[in-house]
Structure formats: C-alpha cells, structure tokens
Amino acid sequence: MELVKIVEILEEIAPPELADDFDEGRIGVILDLEREIKRIVVALDANSYILKKAAEMRADLLITHHTLIFHPINKISKPLAASLKLALENGISLYSMHTNYDRADGGINDVLAARIGLKNIEILEIGRIGEIEPCSSSELATHVSECLQTPVMYAGEKEIRRVMIFGGSGFREEFLEIARANKADAFVSSELKHDILRNYEDLCLIDATHYATENPGMEELCSRLRKLPGIEVEFIEQPSGLRAIDRTLSRRIKDALDVTEEKTLCEQKEMKKDSMESMIEEQSRNQVRSDYRRSLGSESRRKYME
Amino acid sequence: MELVKIVEILEEIAPPELADDFDEGRIGVILDLEREIKRIVVALDANSYILKKAAEMRADLLITHHTLIFHPINKISKPLAASLKLALENGISLYSMHTNYDRADGGINDVLAARIGLKNIEILEIGRIGEIEPCSSSELATHVSECLQTPVMYAGEKEIRRVMIFGGSGFREEFLEIARANKADAFVSSELKHDILRNYEDLCLIDATHYATENPGMEELCSRLRKLPGIEVEFIEQPSGLRAIDRTLSRRIKDALDVTEEKTLCEQKEMKKDSMESMIEEQSRNQVRSDYRRSLGSESRRKYME
Amino acid sequence: MELVKIVEILEEIAPPELADDFDEGRIGVILDLEREIKRIVVALDANSYILKKAAEMRADLLITHHTLIFHPINKISKPLAASLKLALENGISLYSMHTNYDRADGGINDVLAARIGLKNIEILEIGRIGEIEPCSSSELATHVSECLQTPVMYAGEKEIRRVMIFGGSGFREEFLEIARANKADAFVSSELKHDILRNYEDLCLIDATHYATENPGMEELCSRLRKLPGIEVEFIEQPSGLRAIDRTLSRRIKDALDVTEEKTLCEQKEMKKDSMESMIEEQSRNQVRSDYRRSLGSESRRKYME
Amino acid sequence: MELVKIVEILEEIAPPELADDFDEGRIGVILDLEREIKRIVVALDANSYILKKAAEMRADLLITHHTLIFHPINKISKPLAASLKLALENGISLYSMHTNYDRADGGINDVLAARIGLKNIEILEIGRIGEIEPCSSSELATHVSECLQTPVMYAGEKEIRRVMIFGGSGFREEFLEIARANKADAFVSSELKHDILRNYEDLCLIDATHYATENPGMEELCSRLRKLPGIEVEFIEQPSGLRAIDRTLSRRIKDALDVTEEKTLCEQKEMKKDSMESMIEEQSRNQVRSDYRRSLGSESRRKYME
Amino acid sequence: MELVKIVEILEEIAPPELADDFDEGRIGVILDLEREIKRIVVALDANSYILKKAAEMRADLLITHHTLIFHPINKISKPLAASLKLALENGISLYSMHTNYDRADGGINDVLAARIGLKNIEILEIGRIGEIEPCSSSELATHVSECLQTPVMYAGEKEIRRVMIFGGSGFREEFLEIARANKADAFVSSELKHDILRNYEDLCLIDATHYATENPGMEELCSRLRKLPGIEVEFIEQPSGLRAIDRTLSRRIKDALDVTEEKTLCEQKEMKKDSMESMIEEQSRNQVRSDYRRSLGSESRRKYME
Amino acid sequence: MELVKIVEILEEIAPPELADDFDEGRIGVILDLEREIKRIVVALDANSYILKKAAEMRADLLITHHTLIFHPINKISKPLAASLKLALENGISLYSMHTNYDRADGGINDVLAARIGLKNIEILEIGRIGEIEPCSSSELATHVSECLQTPVMYAGEKEIRRVMIFGGSGFREEFLEIARANKADAFVSSELKHDILRNYEDLCLIDATHYATENPGMEELCSRLRKLPGIEVEFIEQPSGLRAIDRTLSRRIKDALDVTEEKTLCEQKEMKKDSMESMIEEQSRNQVRSDYRRSLGSESRRKYME
C-alpha cells in the first residue's frame, strides 16, 4: 500500500486538526522514504532502540505517539544521528500522531479509561471522566497499578466514585479545574508536580507514569491497523523501567525511634565549627558566586528560564 | 528586630542576585506589614495551611522557598484570599528565597548533598556532585528513600560511585548534560519526565519528590536562623503525603500467568462490534470533534500551549 | 442575594464582552469572599479610603470602575496590603466594570452626556456626540465646570454646537479623529496632553478631570442598583481634590508692565559668569553624566521607556 | 557656519547619549538641507505654525524640543505635508533635542528649577529637587502659576519646603517614588493622571502644563546660542492657549442651595419610565452592542489597547 | 476630477484588501495635496528622478507600484527630502498600489504573462502559469530577454512547455513549490538567490530583473487610465540600466588553456611566505578581530541579522 | 586525526565568535559521526550532489560554507533525507563555517579581494575595499567576469579606482553606506535588488553571483588544509550553472525599428473588447478574489510576510 493511502486512514483515526496548536510541525509524516508499505510497526516513541527493532522486523513505516524531533533543530545530535541512520538505511518512514490521537475517539484517553474500567464515560475536550465502584485512594492506586502494570505515586485520601483520566503529562491546572468542575474525586495521569499536589489536596492524585498511561493507546492503535488488508502490523514494547521504593517510616515509628539512630542511617554534613565563623566563611563564598553570576551576560543567565 | 535588619541577614545567606532570571519578582519581601519581628517561622511553601500554623504560633514573619504568588495576578483567587487573610489579620510578613538559596553556599543543594551523605562534593553552577560507597541503583534508591524519608521512583540499573543531586525540579536536559560531562552515575532530583527517562538511559535517575529534596534545606535554614539573638525561630512541616504502590508483576510471573486472568483484574472496553462498523462510527464522531476544534478561535485553542 | 445572582445583573448592565481587550483580567469578580450579599457599595476607585468607608457601612460587596490591581503583581505593596486587609477582614467582595460600562447603554458615557445636557445624542463605538445651544468655548467650559462641579482646563476658541464627550482619559488621537469626522466643535474628556493640544487646534478641548467625567456614571449605577429588592446600595464619594489657579497676566498687561518687575516675582538662576567659562563648566558636567548613562546597562536605561 | 559645526555645539549642550532609549530616531538632525546656516530659530515644537514663522524670519535651521515625526510613518499626513512644505521650500533644516536636553546641565529641568526659584538644587538622574520658603500648597501653586505664567491644577494640601520638578510629562510612578524617597513635599510637572493623584495623596501635586514647564528651557537654549559669533538666533513663542475655569461650589454652599437649582443649571437625562421597562430596553441595546463587538475581528478590537 | 473619485477607480482596479499583510501602510494615498487632478503620471517607482519628470509634465498625481517610504521613518533622509520637495512644491499627490495590483485581474502578473505570450493561463493566488511552444531553456531565456527587453540570467536546462511567472521578487520557496505542484517547467521572476538555485535544479529558473517583470504592468495601468474622461495620463520610463557580461570560458576551452595564463588575467594575492609563519600571523589577526566582536554589545552585533 | 583536533584548527582559521548573531546554531560541527578523520572534502554547499561526490571520494568530513539545515526543522524533507542518508551511510561528518569565515583573516572576503586583484586592501568589519587601475564600469565588469569566471550583471557608469567587495549576498543598505563613506566607486557582490539599484545610482554595482564570489574562499580553505599532515583534503566543485543572455536592443535601434515588429516577437494579450465592458468584467473578478482573501484567516495571509 502507498504511504499516502495509509496516511488517509491514519488521519481518519486521528484527524490532525484535533491536535493542540503547540504540536505544529510534529503531526503527520516526519520522514517519507517513498516505498511501498508492507509492514508497519507501532510504538510509543521514535528512538534508536525502537528503530533498531523496527529494522530487525523489516518495517517500512514506524508510527509513534512521540515524534522524532520535538524541538526544531539546526544540528544533528548523536542520538538523533543514530536513529536517522537506522531509519534511512532500512527504509523506514516515520509518522507521528500526538495530541490529535489523545483527543480522537478510540484514542489514548478512551483506551486508558477502558483499561482502568471506568463506566459511564463522559468525553471532555481532551481527557475523560467516568465512574468506578466506590473505593479508597489506596485501593484505586492499587487497582491502577495492577491494570496498567506500573508503579504509581499517589496522594490525597478520600472515598472515590468519579475518576478523571488524562494519558501522558496531564497534571496541569486547567485540567484539574475541569476535574473539580466535573466533581471528579480522583485524577489519574502522570508527571505530577509539587504545586499541583499542594493546590489540589481535595482530589486524589495518581501519577501512573507517562509510559503506562499512553502505551495502551498505541497498543490499541496497532490492533486497529491489523485489520488493514495486505499489511503486517506489529507493536514494539519499550517499558519505562521505572520502579518504586518506599522506605518511609510511619510517623508513629519515627517518634518511637531515637533521632540519633536516623542519623546513623544517613550521614549528615557536620556543622561543628563555631557558628559565627562558619557563617562568615559561607558569606564570602556566596560573594564569589554572586560576582560570578553578575559577570555572566544576561543571555547566558537567561538560559535557565526556558 | 526590624524586618530590614533580618532581610540583610537573609540576603547574606542567599544573595538575591544568585537567583535565576525567571525568578524576577519572586525573591525577597513579598508582603511587608511593618512590625517588629519577634518570631519567625520557616516552611517550604506559603499556603493557607502554613499560614494558619504560623498564626497559631504567633509568627511575625514567614520565610518560604516557594513564593505566595508565582504567576503575576490581577484577581485574587479563593485560595490566595484565604492565605492573604491569615497573613494580614495576623500580621505575618512574607519573605521568599528560591533559586538564590538553591545556589547559595549551605543552601538547598548543599544540604541535600549532605543528607544523602555524599563525599568530596563539587559545586556546579547550581547542583552538586559527590561520591558514595559503590552500590547498585536499587541500593541507592533505597538509601535515598531512607535518608529523605520519601517514596522514590527510579530507573536505570548500573554500579554507582558518583552522584549528582539537584533539589526540586531538576530533571532538565541541561542539568543531565552536566551530570554526564561530570561522569556522574546517578542523578537525584524530582519531577522526572518521560523524555528525560528515554534520553538518559545511561544514568540511574532517582525521583525523590520535590518536597523531600527541598524541605531539608529549609529545615537547615531554620537551624541557622535560630542563632539570631532575641528572635524565636520555628519550622513548620507540611509533608507531601505522597505514597508509592507497585503491583507490577515481574515479566517472569506475567509470562507464567494466563493472560485472561489479567483481564479479569482490569475490565477492558469491549470491542465486539464488527470492526468496519465501529471504525465508521468512530470516524463520524471524530468529524464532529474536528469541526468543533476548527470552530474554536485560535486563541482558545492556544491555551493548551502554555 | 448570592454574588453569582448579582453578577448576572451586573453583566446585563455592562456585558464584559463590551470591554476593550487591554482590560483582560480586570473585569468581573476581583475578590470573592462567598458571603450572602446584603449591602452593596459603589465607588469610582478601589482603594483603602473607599474600603474603610465600605467597612464602616458594613458592605458585603464593593463595585468600582477602576479595579484593585491594574498591572499584574507578584508582590503585595503596602497600599495594596492595606486595601486587601480591609476587604478580607470585613468580608467585602470586589467587582469591577470598566470599559464595558463605558460603552454600555446607560453607562459612563451616556450619563456624562446627560449631565452636560446634550441633545440628539449619537452613540459612537465608545464615546457620545450631541448638540447644545450655540455658545463660545469659555461658555461651554464654564457650563461643564458647573454641571460636573469640577475645575476645568480648556483651549481652542470657537462657536460650539456639537460636542463629543468621553468619560475618563479620552484625549487620544483616534477619538479626536472621530470627533472631527463627526463634525464636533468641542471634545470634553480628561488628561489632555500637549501633542493633542497642538494637533487639534481646530477643536475646543475641555479637560474636565478623570474623576468628574466618570464619577457621575458610577452614581447612576448606584441609583439603578437601588431598585434591586432586599439589598441596600450606597455610594461612596471620594472627590479628586483638584483645584485650579490661574495667575496668568493677559498679554496686554504684560506688555504694559516692566519686564524687571516680573523677574522680582520669580527668582531666576543668575548667569553672570563669563559665558565662555560657564559653557565649558556645563560641558564637563555633561561629560560626567554621559559617561554615567553609558555605564548603565541597556536594561536599566530602558526602564524610562515604559 | 556649516550645520555639522552647529551640531557639534548642540551635542556639547545636550549630548545625544543622555537621551532615553525610547527617543531613538528622534534626536539630532531630522532634516538636513545642506545650506550655510546664518539664522537659527528655536521653539518648543516643530509644526506648521512654527515653520511659517521660521520661514518669515528667513531661518536656515529650526531647533526644537519635540521632533517633527514622533511615531515612525509610511504616509505623509496633511499636517505633516504642510510642515514639510514650509521647511523644504524655505530651506529650513531641523534639529531636535529631547530627553537628552531634559537631563543636560543647564537644560529643561535646570531652567525650570531656576524659574521657580528653588534653592540648594540636587540633580536626580532626570528631574531636580530643591528648597523653597515654607508655604502651603495653594501658595506654591499660585507662585508657580505666576512664575511660569500658566494656569495650574493642583491637589494635596500640606506645608511645603522641598519641591521636586520635572519639565514635561513627569507624573510617572517611578519619578514620584524618587520624590518620596528624597522627601519632597511637592512635585511640579504636567499631565497629571487620576491614578497618580490617588496613589500619591501624601504629596502636593502641581500640574503646570507641558508647555509652561518646558518652554523656559528652550528660551534659555536660545539665549545660549546667541553667543555664537556670526549667527542670528531667535525664539518663536507659541503659547498653549490653555485657560482654567473653576465654578465648583464649596461643599458648604452646595448644602445650602436647593438641589433643584443645581438641576436647572445642568439638564439631566430624565428617567421617568418605569424602571423595569427601561432596564429591559437598555439590556436589549447592550445585546446588540455585544454582538457587534464580538463580530469585530480581534485585531480591530485591539486597537484600543495601544 | 477629485482625488477621492480617482481613488475609487484605482481601488476597483486593485482592491487594497488584495494586498499582502506586510504591505500595511504602503497601499493607497501616500501624500494628499488636495488639488483638482487634471494630469496623472504613472511610473514603477516614486523617487526624485520620477518626481522631477512628473513636475516637468505638470502632473497633479503620481501613481506608482513602489511606495515613497518603504520602512517607517522618524527622520527625512536627503534623497527623501529631494523627492518630497518636488512633490510638495509642484503639488503632486502620491498613490501607491503594490501586491494588491500584483494579484488583481489585469494587474502586474496578468500583463507579464501576456507579454511573454503564455497561453491557457491559470491564475494562482498571486502568480500565473501558462503554456508556450515547446523550447529549450536558452530559447525561453532568449525569448524573455527579447519580449521584456532586458538582460536575463538563467540556469537549469530542460524542455519547456509550462511556465510560471511572478512579477518582481518571486524566487521564494513557497512560490517555487507552487510551480512544482503545478508541473511548471520554468519559473520567470527576478532576484534569484543561491539557495533557490540549489534547491530547484529541476526547474529552469529565469531572472528577468525586477524592473522588466513589473514595468509592463504599470504601462498597462497607464493605458487603462487613459480611458478616463477629462484627465491626461502619461507614463514615465526609468530603465534599470542593468547590463549583462559573460566572459566565462567554456570548460573545454579552460582545460586547453595554460592555467598560468588565467593568472595573468586576474592577479592573485601572493602567498609565498612559509605557510606555518603565515598561518600564525593570520591567527593573531583573527584574535584581534574576535576580541573586537566580543567587545561589541550584543545590540550592535545584531544589526547584521536584519 | 580526531575530529576534535580538526575543529581546533578550523576554529583558529575561522573563530566561531566572528559569526553574525543570526548564524547561531549554524556554525561548527553539524553532524558528528565520531570516526578517525583521514580524508576531508571542502565545498561551498552541503547537499546531496556534494555528499555523493564526498562518498565517492571516501571522505570522513565535509566542510562547507553553507550549512545543511538553514532554518530549524521538525520534519525531514526528501532532499534532506537524501543528503543525510549519504552522510550517515558513508560516515561523513559535517562542519560548517559561515559569516565567521567571511570575516576571518584569509577568509572569503580576503580571497575574493585577491582574486579580483585589488591593491592596498583595507579591512572593513566584514567586507574589504581596495584599489584597481582606473577603468570604466564595463571594463571592471568584464574583468570581474573573467577573474571569477562568471556571468555578471551590472549598472552605473563611472570611472572606477576604488572597489568594495563582499562575498555572497552583500547588496544591503548598511554595506553600501560603508562603500559610500569609504569613497568606493564600485561594489562587487551578489543578489542585487531593485531598491539598491535605485538608491545607489552613484555607484557601479556589479552582481557577480553568490557562487562565484564565495567559492574561491572555499578553494583557498582547501589549499590551506592540505598543509595538515596525514590527512588528504580535496575540493568539490559544483558550478552554479548560471548563464547570461542579453537581447536588449539599444534605444537607437529600437527607435529605428517599427513598433509593430517588436509586437510580432512577443505576442501580447489582445484587448479588443470595448474598454467599459472589459473593465466591468475585471472588477467582478477582483471582487471574487477580494472575497477569497478576506475569507482567509489572517494567519494564512500572513505567510507571505516572512
């Protein structure tokens, strides 16, 4: 099948005009090697690991959620060179669908909602909201961890009936306001930040990782494309590798333990010097650092802003 | 003591010119109620929980790492009104030190490095790098979890000797490049993102939460201020409440289990309809959504960009 | 009555979408303290004087033309802290209507036109134009001074039949072009500037102060709200305090007087030194100043631009 | 004398690098007709009135404080065409000195300070501050009106000893903060705005008109240039024409008068209709206006912002 | 005829809303001297040569394709002063039609297409495409040179049937993509650039000069206006003066000639010094230059960017 | 030799900090394939023709004046894919030096000045100026055509002694002002534009093509690098293919010829219809086009601006 034909089908599944404006330049054909497409592979990311697998599988087209070049470039970095070499030498064209597939019917968010088992799902502009059997925050977190086979981090204890989900990085104020407005009790997404945690203590917030909340949608896309006649379609898995560890002592236990003991666990910078003396030393070091910062042109300082 | 006098001391501890440019307007006195300062409280955040505690403790000044108003405002939201009311009614002035205290000698990053027990610490422009006893990624993650008393998420297995740390949200490309250039094996910070995880697989990445990597620095600030004569200084703790759950089955176990069983755990959207029919339905729903998006002015669509 | 109900009524009186784009963030509820509204006060400005009066009058809501926070802020200045304290401690919510009420039917401009007694009023996009009994510029200025009870400054002698009015700061080129295009003889507004004075010498320009041209519209708003059942509505007056003094001698008198006499009125810098010598001195001082300006970073110099 | 020679002298008097950054493109030779300069005229503005006088006086060069073209242009408006025609036909080159001459030693601000008779003058970066014999606000306003032969508007009663002055449009927050920081009691400048009036009630603010505060500096420049050998130098006066009228009744008188009488002075819009009915009418008119505004492209609406 | 009447006719010929957005401020009446228009002159440019001719011809209105002031100005340069003087003294109003007349029916591009003799012309948004008798690139270049009476530069040998034309500076990527998409073999326009030459080697590119591709359209406008009753209309010719010279030896000839001979034609910098020594010298000079560049503020360096 | 070593040498030849600010991201290593460099090729451009030649020559490094990716990209176009494939498959790293090498001692401009045989060369910030034997414009144009073996276009007859040169696209106002200020009679560069031609009629302007004015500098770079021990260095030639044709008849001849004859050479659009009728037709077509333009969103219209 010609690429142009496949693009038509993909644009029906995830119409490009559904994409966020910031995705300009990142949706659609990213690399067109003009070859008859016989084998498609689908994956979450476009990187050298995926492209190597794709080459091994003799794919002609790789469809991903995250594009190859996120920020526009003038130079080819080494990792990009490695990925491009694999694509170019093995004749693998690239196609990317991102926020358009998040929003699309049957896309990232619909699949995520289904995987978690939400009922009576309502479609918001981009996320989804639905109901579950009443449970506690830790029960929901456990359920999500099992359903998505991912470690999760969560906060906010409450009884939960309504859950809003958003695949990928969705802990943004505007989405949490939608959650509140729609009387959600919990919000499942990824890349939870401190300020969101502080400002939405009334909600149960579950960070189920970017990978685990988006990968199912790409698996599903793969299944749908398998229905195309005369084309083989495979999925490439690339787990995030994330693991959780929690060695926090409960408050009660901490109170019971000797503070000194805690200190033996983790060595601490010793601050034995006379406080006056040490304060003077630190201030003179700060002075050196201030002078250095001041000496930087405003441009080089500014780089930390973006 | 007059506020102006305390400000001088705080500016020696964390000179404002050390701050990143994006912190303009967020460093220094945020609210000045012109009262003799007898009692100072220190905390990570400036929110209504902290201000209520501060009021109970009869504080005259609250010093925080995160400022009260992050993005400039024209309107007073309800949570801000609540915080402001507490500050104004109880005469609590506000002072904020942020990236200047991150960089400062004895600041956020120095304290974090000490808590984790790094040796031979080198000062980078903003983060710190040091050595630990050789260990595995999971051992380091466990160690960090214990030292900082926080759940952690981590990825990237390797033998670790050199560790770079960065309090707060430090998983930014520029800092990880510094880690690589300085031959760090692990990077401890918070708010780890998917693209960083993918692009820095050669490093052990440990997300130890924003709270747990910054709070120690504020505790330490509190200890230092206690040395001031004639002023009482207290710390207000406000834990993040984050907990980790990991119900991921190991690959081996998953392979051994029947796939059907997994499905019973998490209900899935059933897709029984004839595929052709369902695809047509979805496409028509996408059409409606496309039309809707197109009908939005470009301004309202753009909001998702920022 | 609930605030949300009152907001509905206010939005019928002055629909927010009538506002200029630059008013974004300044129209509507500025502070919402969620209290049953029993007493409303109306005023031109939202400052501590007004809020103190509002508190004395036990108001639950203050409606003003000028908002509390004009330019977005990160820090709370002392005057703002004073105002906010009064509002928060006394439970006074704030609502602001600005250019939307200028444009609205029965708003600032309609009331101003009525106060001055214009006939056959035409509605321009924002200002109003109407007719008066033929009079001279000084007669119109006198009439406006009496009607609005304000000192006025005016220039441009001519016979006047058609008058354009614009409440607040309306001496902008675009509005004066509208005045000309509509064959107005006089333009009544406030904050007259030198360049307007020079470029529109064909019009009689009357500066009747910002306060006196806008306050009547707010008084009228107060009257309209009094019709609401079950709510008490009061107006708070805060005069501008402006006074005019004119000790200009007429040209004829000046010609008759000895120039020396004028000099005795106002001492003048004596310039007795040899001109060559004094010029050299001044130039060397300029040199010092130039060097200083050059030494300023372009950023600090730029502040005078805005 | 060649123009280039005169420019050198003018640049010593008012070095261009003293100018504010926003004056870029407005300082120096604005029109160079390459003629031997025999007669110079000096004025505040460059407009057709001044250029006509300059032509009558057979001037070769006009030096002004305000430039001919303030905002950059692509088209020649009719007033500009008239001015340019006079300059080009009569061979009158143009030179402009603006904020550089404000700052310069012996420039606009020094002359203004001298005219008002300030003592012990201190030079701020741009304005000047000095002392006068203790007096009331109205006495100072009267004194300024006499010295500068201009109507004035003023507000803020207090006893005055220290006065800050700023020729031209100086009622900007940054300058008033300087006034406060330098313990000035009064600020004399022009183009006083409502927000300044409200925020600086602790100061006596005197608006002595743009013309009257800047013209003396240009007169003085003329006197200085007269010392140049072999060149005739004349000043062209163009008074602002502003006059003040104050028909405000004192509060006491107003209370004594019948309210009805006031109404006879100024006709008021009669609002006799049943309030419900009239409110409905107004709302429907507002609706029409809202629809109209919404129908405007955001570009045309935005014009009111600048 | 009044200017306003003529403007109406010109706006029918070239509706201003057809213009590119970047032409804002450059379309329409540029200078209005309010005189009864009896004689119109038409030309490509508005400069002092044209205005002198226009004055000699006693024109009241000059209509040009290129406006008088392209980039907005604050100062009057000498060439502009010369042009303005001619216009103002001789009462010549100015009108400009640019990209609106390029696009207009019967405008620049239609006339150009006709002059070259294209058949079956299709209208693209701005250029035109048509057919010619099959010929080689050099034959087409020769034909264009003859038709437009201009030297041409061209590249890209191929058999040509379809030609896209674009009057003025049209060698822009977007237009060449349109040429390709429409299967043009050749593109005739002007101001051909190196990157276009490299990237569109599949097309025959003919640079027929800006003047020669646009002047015919203005001649045609002149003819059309001649039909207006009671007004005399003349065209002013101002050839570009461009001439081509080609002393390139064919590769074959060059190979046959002694290389030394070529060197006698063009002297070359002799590089006899020991290479090591000379390299060191150059490097030290580069060092001086680098230091100089670094010493420039970023603003002055940036000027080369625009 | 390692690439890093070669980069050091190249940075001595053309220090990156000499580059214009707009060249950010375009100077230095563009693609680093980390291979021992044994063979370097040098060329003007980095495109698939050059890379194919480089691959045939088994090069490890290609050094060019124009970079591979000029404007930052998110997608890989087909021509770029072709170039990248050649580079990646054949292990050819890329290095680019642009405006830094223009300015550098012994760089583009110095070589160009030498090729044309200028004497007493002065270094301007970026171009060069020198003397030649007095000659006419056409003699100089002929000389340049021979020296650089390129067709040229020129205008402006005068006697020439001083010549300014600028390799590449140098016909910018700022450079021509430098030429005038330095009393150059001629300016040799490329990509001459109409407005420059009109505004600098006092100079002889010679457009010697971008290729022919820059390629010599790259040839020279190649010669210099040949001195490096143990590395083979070759140059790849890719002529522009430009040819000039001039079939302009001299004015005298044209006057002698019958105008009708000219018309037989180039067919012209016949305009036989009654002018009234045809004007109406065109206007209605313009109407359609206006409506179309108005219907375009402002964004799509704007694309013509950049």
Predicted TM-score (pTM) of this structure: 0.88
Residue ranges of C 83-142 with Cβ closer than 8 A to chain B:
84-85, 88-89, 94
Q: Return all residues near F95 (Cβ < 8 A) that are at least 6 apart.
A: F6, F7, F10, F28, F29, F30, F61, F62, F63, F64
Task: For residue D183, give the nearest of D206, D208, D215, D158 by alpha carbon.
Answer: D158
For the ranges A238-252, A283-297, C231-245, the maximum mean pLDDT occurs at: C231-245
Q: In Å, how far is E59's CA from the nearest CA of chain D? A: 17
The pLDDT value recorded for residue A63 is 98
Task: Give pLDDT, residue D269.
Answer: 43
The upper half-sphere exposure of residue B79, i.e. CA atoms within 13 Å in the direction of its Cβ, equals: 13
Nearest to D283 among C12, C99, C191 (CB): C12
Helix (H) or strand (E) holding D79: helix D78-89
Residue of A nearest to B249 (CA): A149
* Cβ contacts of C88 on chain B, cutoff 8 Å: 81, 84-85, 88-89
Report d(CA B123, CA B134) in Å as an integer. 21
How does the average pLDDT of chain F come out, rounded? 89
pLDDT at F126: 84
Residues E182-205 pLDDT 10s:
999 999 999 999 999 999 999 999
Q: Out of E245, E285, E294, whose CB is closest to F105? A: E285
* DSSP category for residue E298: H
**pLDDT at res. E285:** 74
* Per-residue pLDDT reduced to its tens digit, F59-95: 999 999 999 999 999 999 999 999 999 999 999 999 9
ipTM above 0.85, yes or no: yes
Higher-pLDDT residue of C129, E249: C129
Q: How confident is the model at residue B273 (pLDDT cuts 50, 70, 90)?
A: very low
Nearest to D94 by CA among D131, D54, D129: D54
β-strand partners of A207: A153, A189
Question: Containing H/E element for D61?
Answer: strand D61-64
Distance from CA of A17 to the nearest CA of B (A): 6
Contact E194/F210, CB-based, under 8 Å?
yes
Q: Has residue C245 got a pLDDT over 50?
A: yes
Q: What is the pLDDT of residues E262-280, one digit of tens each?
A: 444 465 444 444 445 555 5
The predicted structure's pLDDT at residue A290: 72
Q: Is residue D268 less than 8 Å (CB to CB) from chain E? A: no
Chain B residues in contact with C31 by the CB 8 A cut-off are: 75-76, 81
Mean pLDDT comparison of A259-268, C267-276, F130-139, highest-scoring range: F130-139
State the pLDDT at residue A281: 66
Give tens-digit pLDDT for B72-123: 999 999 999 999 999 999 999 999 999 999 999 999 999 999 999 999 999 9
CA E12 to CA F285: how far, in whole Å? Answer: 10
Nearest beta carbon to residue D211 from set C15, C154, C194: C194
A251 pLDDT more than 70: no
Is F297 in CB contact (< 8 Å) with chain A?
no
Strand intervals (E) in C89-159: 93-96, 119-123, 128-135, 151-155
CB atoms under 10 Å from CB of D134, counted, come to 11
pLDDT (average), residues A93-101:
98
* Min Cα–Cα distance to chain A from B104, Å: 6
Distance CA C53, CA C56 (A): 5
Q: Which of A235-239, B294-298, C45-49 has the lowest mean pLDDT?
A: B294-298
- Per-residue pLDDT band for A93 (boundaries 50, 70, 90) equals very high
Q: Is B294 exposed, middle or buried (0-12, 13-18, 19+ CB in 10 A)?
A: exposed
Who's near D150: CB < 8 A, 6+ residues apart? C248, D144, D208, D209, D211, D212, D240, D242
What percent of chain F shows pLDDT beyond 70?
A: 83
The predicted pLDDT at position E251 comes to: 57
Read off the amino acid at residue D264: T
What local confidence, expressed as pLDDT, does residue A270 receive?
A: 42
pLDDT of D127 > 60? The answer is yes
Q: Give the model's confidence band at B291: pLDDT under 50 very low, under 70 low, under 90 confident, else very high.
A: low
Judged by a CB distance cut-off of 8 A, whether residue B72 touches chain C is: yes
d(CA F196, CA F210): 16
Mutate to test the interface with C, among B21, B73, B76, B92 (most CBs of C within 10 A): B76
Whether residue B300 has pLDDT greater than 50? no
Report percent pLDDT > 90 for chain E: 79
Give the residue, C301 or E289, on which the prediction is more confident.
E289
Subunit contact D113:C269, Cβ cutoff 8 A: yes
Interchain CB distance below 8 Å, C84 and B89: no
Average pLDDT over residues A253-267: 52
pLDDT tens, residue by residue, D54-79: 999 999 999 999 999 999 999 999 99
Q: What one-character-per-residue DSSP string does chain F give?
A: --HHHHHHHHHHHS-GGGS-GGGTTSSEEEE-------EEEEES--SHHHHHHHHHTT-SEEEESS-S-SS-BSSB-HHHHHHHHHHHHTT-EEEE--HHHHHSTTSHHHHHHHHHT-EEEEE-SSSEEEEEEEE-HHHHHHHHHHHHT-EEEEE----EEEEEE-SSS---HHHHHHHHHTT-SEEEES---HHHHHHTTTSEEEE--HHHHHHHHHHHHHHHHTTSTT-EEEE-------EEEE-PPPHHHHHHS-HHHHHHHS------S-HHHHHHHHHHHHHHHHHHHHHS-HHHHHGGG-
Distance from CA of D235 to the nearest CA of E (A): 23
Q: How far apart are CA F223 and CA F233, in angstroms?
A: 8
> What would the mean pLDDT of A97-109 be, rounded to a whole number?
97
* Position A58 pLDDT exceeds 90: yes
pLDDT confidence of residue F255: 61
Closest chain A residue by Cα to residue F73: A72
- Least reliable range by pLDDT among C102-116, D252-266, E148-162, F218-232: D252-266
The confidence score (pLDDT) of residue F278 equals 58
SS3 percent helix, strand, coil of chain C, rounded to 5, is 45, 20, 35
Between residues 139 and 198 of chain E, which touch chain F (CB distance below 8 Å)?
Answer: 141-143, 145-156, 168-169, 174, 190-195, 197-198
Which residue in D44, D109, D254, D304 has the most chain C C-beta atoms within 10 A of its own C-beta, making it the best mutation to test that interface? D304
> Exposed, middle or buried: residue E109 (CB in 10 Å: 0-12, 13-18, 19+)?
buried
Residue C98 is encoded by which pair of tokens? 């600005």
| Confidence band of B301 (pLDDT split at 50, 70, 90) | very low
Q: Quote the pLDDT of residue D116.
A: 97
Q: Do the two chains F and E touch, given a threshold of 8 Å on CB pairs and at least 3 pairs? A: yes
For chains E and B, tell me whether 3 or more CB atom pairs sit within 8 A of each other.
no
D244-288 per-position pLDDT tens digit: 999 997 655 666 655 444 444 465 444 444 445 555 566 677 776
For D200, nearest residue in chain C (alpha carbons): C79
Chain F contacts of E110, Cβ < 8 Å?
Answer: 269
CB B222 within 8 A of CB B235: yes
Question: The tokens of B87 are what?
Answer: 């500050």
Best D26, D80, D263, D286 member to test C by mutation, with max C CBs in 10 Å, is D286
User: What's the mean pLDDT in C81-88?
Assistant: 98
Question: pLDDT tens digits, residue range C212-222?
Answer: 999 999 999 99
Which residue from F305, E33, E41, E59 is spatially nearest to D75, judged by alpha carbons? Answer: E33
Q: Which of residues 23-42 of D touch C (CB under 8 A)?
A: none
Rounded distance between C-alpha atoms, residue F160 and residue F146, angstroms: 17
| Those residues with Cβ within 8 angstroms of residue A108's Cβ, 6 or more apart along the chain or in another chain | A65, A101, A102, A167, A168, A213, A214, A217, A218
Rg (CA), chain E: 24
Closest CA to E131 of E153, E116, E110, E149: E116
Indicate whether B261 pLDDT > 50: no
Mind listing the pLDDT tens digit for each residue in E44-84? 999 999 999 999 999 999 999 999 999 999 999 999 999 99
In terms of phi and psi (left: phi > 0; alpha: psi -120 to 50; beta: otherwise), the region of B29 is: beta
Q: How many CB pairs under 8 A join E and F?
A: 263
Q: How far away is chain B from the Cα of C279, in angstroms, using its nearest Cα?
A: 42
Task: Select from E31, E67, E75 the Cβ nearest to the Cβ of D81.
Answer: E31
- Quickly state the pLDDT bin for F277 (edges 50, 70, 90): low
Query: HSE-up of F186 (CA within 13 Å, CB side)?
Result: 35
pLDDT at position C228, please?
93
* Higher-confidence position of E116 and B291: E116
Tell whether B71 is within 8 A of chain A (Cβ): no
Strand partners, B246: A151
Give the per-residue pLDDT at A249.
73
Mean pLDDT for chain C overall: 89
Phi, psi dihedrals of residue F185, rounded to the nearest 5°: -95, -30
Question: Is F212's pLDDT higher than 60?
Answer: yes
Among E255, E258, E215, smallest CA distance to E115 is for E215
> What does the pLDDT read at residue E271?
42
